[in-house]
Amino acid sequence: MSILTIILNILAPPISIFRKRGFGNDLGINIIFTMLFFIPGIIHAFYLTSKQNQIL
């Protein structure tokens, strides 16, 4: 995980997910988490960006 990814995970979780996964269900879920409560959005972003084998 790069420094840029870590910073984006903390400051703007949906942008980090978009960079890693593109448009999709994961981005929508992260936007909802971030809008409702910011901390779950950050946790979800770290979870998705730290997964090794990502299937699009």
Instruction: Per residue of the chain (56 residues), give pLDDT as tens.
Output: 789 999 999 999 999 999 988 899 999 999 999 999 899 999 999 999 887 655 55
Distance CA 19, CA 54 (A): 13
Stated pTM of the model: 0.82
Q: Are the beta carbons of 42 and 13 closer than 8 angstroms?
A: yes
Q: 20, exposed or middle or buried, with CB in 10 Å at 0-12, 13-18, 19+?
A: buried
pLDDT of residue 55: 59
> How far apart, in Å, are the Cα atoms of 56 and each of 7, 20, 35, 48?
23, 10, 24, 12
